[in-house]
Chain A
Amino acid sequence: MSSGAIMRRKTIGFLGRSFLFAVTSVAAVAVFAIILFIARDALPFFRDRTSLEFFVSKSWYPSHTPPQFGAAAIFFGSFLVTAAAVILAVPSGVMAAICLSDILPFKARQLVKPVIEILAAIPSVVYGFFALTVVAPFLQNAGEWLPGNIEIASGVNALNASVILAIMALPTIVSVSEDALQAAGRELREGSYALGATRSETLLKVVIPAAFSGIFSAVLLGIMRAMGETMVVWMASGNAAQIPKPWYNLLQPVRTLTATIAGDMGEADQMSGSAHYHVLFVMGLCLLLFSFGCNIAGEWVVARQRKKLRGE
């Protein structure tokens, strides 16, 4: 090979590597830029308002004079809706993944998995529309024939939002968990059978523990999906900035962080740099930090699990 050809090949290799590096950098830099800009617009809020009011007070009256920015009820709304969605979606999602990976025949799995994944492709505003026009009237009428004749005055409430969020988180949980269970491998399962374990013992004591870190990641992704979803909660949760009475009452409307940001953005005056504008960025920053926390926790669990599997 001539030296010219070698040079050319080296140059092309260098250019290729540079290009890939640049593309990767864009993603990394974008993350830092987002944090930086959100923090820059969030911090001025605490210049003339206390964090105590923001985190402890329940009075959210941003348009009143003087305005009140107590976000405790909104934080609780986000928590309640997310927690309920996780409680609904995680057990069913993980069980569905186990069923797909180890119980259903191969052909059925090939049919069912894409159908579940279609759920992830539906735009969230369509889910919101569904929540508003189908789930809400259904819930309102459901109260009458429930035991105890519970009065569900408004079908637009925390439960409605949670149910829809659970459906939206399902495909992520099912798909990622199923991949983790598959990755546990045939050898592991056959080894277990060879030792005389039954199918259920193999599943519960060998396959699921082996796939635990993957299932955990799936659950985290599902939580983040539910926490960050905006359009559906804006349409289905009722947006009342209150802590339900009693607090676990899912049949009352609540307001979430994401819906507050979406709903108030137009009103908050950017030019005059009002507290209302900055408080929305504080909420954005809190959501971002929460996602970061989830990610780091996920990494940590996965790393620990890997160590354990290697027998260290």
Chain B
Amino acid sequence: MSKLLSALSTFVMFTALVAAEPPLQVQVTANIEFFEHMFATLDMAPETARSTFLSHLGIPKEEHQKVLSVAAEFSSKEAQLRTQAQSILALKGAEQSVLLGSIRAERTELLHSDAVLLMKSLDSGSRQALLGRISQMQKLIPKRVSN
């Protein structure tokens, strides 16, 4: 009986731990607005302002280069997809719709995978700090309150 209780207790603790810390992919998906905005900002900001933006997000200076590398990679691949999409926009009818749909899906997948890559590139402390900050930021998106 005591072994059963012990096993049950371990299972409950394990479940609680898993529940407390969802996988990175899940956390990224839940907060994808943040990552899309972050990539877009780093893409448009002049080089001298990028580090200021990362500091604003609370990312330590020694981690900036890692983040900038992933963001640059995303921007480059996204630009390629955009060029493809723009050439497809010149096409007509169903063919255009199918091809555009496929490229848009590819871009969505790229956004998610590079956001995960970015988070993985950070050391554990910075990652947790950023997740905490993202959580605060996400709370600021207005949600309709039902009366």
Whether both chains belong to one complex is answered with: no
Binding site for B on A (CB under 8 A): none
